[in-house]
């Protein structure tokens, strides 16, 4: 049985007397956008909310950070670092592929499974309480960057 994270967060918040993170509940998912061409011809963007940053970039704030980091798709994995308060990133510290699967996306690009891995790849912080700011400021900024990169599809890895 999958872990029920929302109930767990509510229980922990009640025990501590704090306010739990309010997950957005939608009645329906948005209509599907159609893939314009076969995957083997698509430029695919990779986006994580695992709090990954380059060692020379400013780390994320653990609370309510709506900024994102751009990483070149050929960034060496050993130059990546993680700042995130919402999950245990001990394994992802050792292998960032756990939350930002660069190695296999590069393989798939080389083998022609996808047309290309878009560069840069994008990294966010998860569980942002300022959802309005995320939706109204961050998301359009991201969409603009993705369009500039001529992206056909997106792989999202929330962590």
Contacting positions for another protein (CB under 8 A): 1-7, 23-26, 28-35, 38-39, 42, 44, 47, 49-50, 86-92, 94-95, 97-101, 103-105, 107-108, 113-114, 124, 126, 131, 134-135, 138-140, 142-143, 146, 151-159
The nearest distance, CB 138 to another protein, in angstroms, is 8
Number of residues in the chain = 159
The nearest distance, CB 3 to another protein, in angstroms, is 5
The nearest distance, CB 23 to another protein, in angstroms, is 5
The nearest distance, CB 118 to another protein, in angstroms, is 11
Return the H-helix or E-strand segment holding 107: helix 102-111
For CA atoms 58, 18, 48, 140, give the dihedral sign: negative
Q: Which is nearer to another protein, 44 or 71 (CB)?
A: 44
The nearest distance, CB 1 to another protein, in angstroms, is 7
Q: Which is nearer to another protein, 16 or 56 (CB)?
A: 16
Distances (CA, A) of 147 to 33, 113, 143, 150, 151: 15, 21, 6, 5, 6
C-beta separation of 21 from 129 below 8 A: yes
CA pair distance 45, 105, nearest whole angstrom: 10
The conformational region for residue 112 under phi > 0 = left, psi -120 to 50 = alpha, else beta, is left
Torsion of CA 115, 117, 118, 121, to 10 degrees: 160
Q: Which is nearer to another protein, 38 or 76 (CB)?
A: 38
Q: Which is nearer to another protein, 6 or 55 (CB)?
A: 6
Q: Which is nearer to another protein, 2 or 56 (CB)?
A: 2
């Amino acid at each position: 049985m999958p872990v029920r994270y929302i109930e767990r967060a509510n229980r922990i918040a009640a025990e501590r007397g704090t306010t739990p993170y309010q997950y957005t509940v939608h009645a329906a998912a948005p209509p599907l956008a159609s893939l314009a061409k076969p995957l083997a011809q698509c430029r695919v963007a990779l986006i994580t909310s695992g709090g990954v940053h380059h060692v020379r970039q400013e780390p994320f704030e653990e609370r309510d950070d709506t900024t994102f980091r751009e990483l070149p798709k050929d960034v060496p994995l050993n130059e990546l670092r993680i700042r995130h308060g919402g999950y245990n990133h001990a394994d992802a510290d050792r292998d960032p592929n756990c939350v930002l699967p660069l190695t296999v996306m590069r393989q798939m690009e080389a083998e022609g499974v996808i047309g290309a891995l878009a560069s840069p790849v994008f990294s966010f912080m998860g569980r942002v309480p300022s959802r309005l700011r995320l939706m109204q400021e961050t998301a359009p900024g991201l969409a603009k960057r993705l369009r500039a990169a001529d992206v056909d599809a997106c792989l999202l890895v929330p962590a």
